[in-house]
Amino acid sequence: MNRNTFDAAWGKARTFLTYKAERAGCQFVAVNPEYTTQDCFRCGTRVPKTLSDRMHICPVCGYTENRDLNAAFNIRKKAFSLGWGTPEYKPVEIRISTPAYTPEQVLIGEAGIPRL
Ligand SMILES: [Zn+2]
């Protein structure tokens, strides 16, 4: 894939993600992915890894996490530092959902459950 095709594909992906984020009431922020896999999310120490290293284990603070999850946390931290502010958590009403039917109304044979 040549450079122009690659850039065009990224441009389309960014446009699409921006559109989908806005429709969902969110904001799309592109961050520089440099060192997001290697940097420790907790203390910032750079911990070099090979592609086969699947776990992030920080020798300084002891933080241990899946490599991709550590990178995801770093990406989120970078996004918030780029003017996204801090995450906002809106309180939502939580209700216990009630089933539309009671289990007694379902016949075992109709539900496809074998009789024991
Ligand atoms: Zn650390």
- 19-36: per-residue pLDDT in tens? 999 999 988 888 899 999
Q: Roughly how many angstroms between the first and final C-alpha of the chain, as a whole number?
A: 59
Residue 74 burial (C-beta neighbours within 10 Å; 0-12, 13-18, 19+): buried
How far apart are the CA of 76 and the centre of ligand 1, in A?
A: 17
| Residues with Cβ–ion distance below 5 A, ligand 1 | 40, 42-43, 45, 58, 60-61, 63
Residue 105 has pLDDT above 90, yes or no: no
CA 112 vs. chain centroid, Å, equals 37
CA of 19 to the centre of ligand 1 (A): 36
pTM of the predicted model, to two decimals?
0.62
pLDDT tens digits along 37-93: 999 999 999 999 999 999 999 999 999 999 999 999 999 999 888 766 555 555 556
CA proximity to 14, closest of 29, 36, 32, 34? 29
